Each structure stands twice: as C-alpha cells, then as structure tokens.
Amino acid sequence: MTRFRPNPDDDAWFRLCVAIDGFRARYGRWPTRVRLDAPALASIRSRMGDAADAARIDGLIRWVVDGSAMVAEDDGDRRYSFGDEGCPAHRPIPGAAAWLGLVPKPREGSGPAS
C-alpha cells in the first residue's frame, strides 16, 4: 500500500472515502464510479503517489467530473451522496481507503510512521 499525506485543509479524500463507504454499507458492494468536482479530483490525484497507484485506482473507479458533491454509484441506479447524506451510520470493513490501497500517513508529531 502506498502512504500519502492528505492536506488537512482539503477534505476531498475524506469525502471520497465516506461516499464509497456509504455506498458499500448500504448495498454490500463497491461502487463503479464517483461523481465529483474538478478541484476534488485534482486533490485526490495529487495524493495517489505514482502512476501505478493512479492506474490501479482508475481500474476500480471511473471518475465523472460534473460538479457533484462526491456521489458514489454503480452501473445500476444505486448511489450514495456525501453531499446529501453525509457520513453513514456504519462504516464497512474493509473501508474505502483499504480497497483503494491508499492509507494516510499520520500527521507530523502524532507518532511514528509505519
């Protein structure tokens, strides 16, 4: 797994994981696409590590840049919108970060990095 450091001022990664986790908690499966805005996608891509990370994640998720507030969907009519629904009551295990293969590094000063 690649480790990356999210920008604490940017919640795109958090919103992505919540939308994916909400979808999986509701439907018991992973989404096939995520609708989002261009700045959120740019932020997420900047933290993917390298081209191999990006290619692997692009194989899991199709990105649809349409200005949405982070909506996870499948090819049917199942969807979970972070913008409309917020955090799900229950988070699935494994969660979105593990499925995507990206685990955030601890913030500086919060302990040793593994």
In a domain? residue 95? no
In a domain? residue 27? yes
In a domain? residue 113? no
81: domain range?
2-89
In a domain? residue 84? yes
In a domain? residue 69? yes
Predicted structure pTM score: 0.81
In a domain? residue 114? no
Q: Residue 15 and residue 62: Cα distance in Å, rounded?
A: 16
Cβ-count burial of 31 within 10 angstroms (0-12 exposed, 13-18 middle, 19+ buried)?
buried
How much is the mean pLDDT over the chain? 83
Give residue-wise pLDDT tens across range 35-72.
999 999 998 888 777 788 889 899 999 999 999 999 99
In a domain? residue 98? no
- For residue 96 the two structure tokens come to 């979105």
Q: Residue 7 and residue 73: Cα distance in Å, rounded?
A: 26
The total number of structural domains in the chain stands at 1
Q: Residue 111 and residue 24: Cα distance in Å, rounded?
A: 31
